[in-house]
Amino acid sequence: DAGITQSPRHKVTETGTPVTLRCHQTENHRYMYWYRQDPGHGLRLIHYSYGVKDTDKGEVSDGYSVSRSKTEDFLLTLESATSSQTSVYFCAISEGTAVNYGYTFGSGTRLTVV
């Protein structure tokens, strides 16, 4: 989607290796989110950020860490990838938290841990 890009789009990695996914936005939105999507589970929130250096955990945060050193970038790191972290990862941005602000999602990163 315009204004939000995820990289890489696809990645295959080995169990036990560290992996970093990047979300980049050009909208200057304050709020950024990482979701994962798995069959039968819909989208589940991993971590979110409400400003530079301000982050918090979502419902499935174990095994993941995030960092936000600049407004435009939100990084998701798998410290030691496991096969259970094979998934499609979506980043989302939001201008605000009031109800009028919906989310804009990126195109996703397909991660396979072998």
Partner 1 sequence: DAKTTQPPSMDCAEGRAANLPCNHSTISGNEYVYWYRQIHSQGPQYIIHGLKNNETNEMASLIITEDRKSSTLILPHATLRDTAVYYCIVREQYNFNKFYFGSGTKLNVKP
- The residue range among 13-21, 43-51, 61-69, 73-81 that interacts with partner 1, by the rule CB under 8 A, is 43-51
**CA 93 to each of CA 90, 96, 105: distance values in angstroms, whole numbers, following the listed order:** 10, 9, 7
Residue closer to partner 1 (CB basis): 50 or 73: 50
**Is residue 28 close enough to count as binding partner 1 by CB under 8 A?**
no
Task: Provide the phi-psi class of 59: left if phi over 0, else alpha when psi is between -120 and 50, else beta.
Answer: alpha
Binders of partner 1 in range 46-85 (CB under 8 A): 48, 50, 56, 58-59
Figure out which of the listed residues 21, 31, 34, 76 binds partner 1, where binding follows CB under 8 A. 31
Question: How many residues belong to the site for partner 1 (CB under 8 A)?
Answer: 30
Figure out which of the listed residues 42, 53, 83, 114 binds partner 1, where binding follows CB under 8 A. 42
* The three-state (H, E, C) secondary structure of 59-104, written as one string: CCCCCEEEEEEECCEEEEEECCCCHHHCEEEEEEEECCCCCCCCCE
